[in-house]
Structure 1
Amino acid sequence: MILVVGGAGYVGSHLVKELVTEEDVVVLDNLSTGFEHLIDSQATFIKGNLGDRDILNKIFTEYPIKAVMHFAANSLVGESVTNPYKYYENNVGATLTLLKAMVDHNVKNFIFSSTAATYGIPHVDLIDETQPNNPINPYGKTKLMVEQILADFASAYQMNYIVLRYFNVAGAHQSGTIGESHDPETHLIPIILQHLLGQREQISVFGTDYDTPDGTCIRDYIHATDLAKAHILALHALLNDTQKNKIYNLGNGNGFSVREVIETCEKVTNKKAKIEFVERREGDPAKLVASSDKVQAELGWTPQFNLTQIIESAWNWHNK
Structure 2
Amino acid sequence: MEYLDFELPIKELEEQLEKCQQIGEDSQVDVTATCENLSQKLEETKKELYANLTAWQRVQMSRHPNRPYTLEHIASLTDNTFLELFGDRGVRDDKAMVGGLGKINGQSFMIIGQQKGVNTKMRQMRNFGMANPEGYRKALRLMKMAEKFNIPVLTLVDTPGAYPGLEAEERGQGEAIARNILEMIRLKVPIITVIIGEGASGGALGIGVGDRVYMMENTWYSVISPESCSSILWRSWEFKEQAAEALKLTAKDMKSNNLVDDIIPEPLGGIHRDREAGFKFVKEYIVKGFNELKDLSTNDLIAQRMDKYSKMGEFNE
Shorter-chain TM-score tier: 0.3 to 0.5
Give the structure-1-normalised TM-score. 0.33
Q: Which has the higher contact order (CA 8 A, sep 6+)?
A: 1
TM norm structure 2: 0.34
Larger radius of gyration: 2
Q: Comparing both structures, which one devotes a greater share of its residues to helix?
A: 2
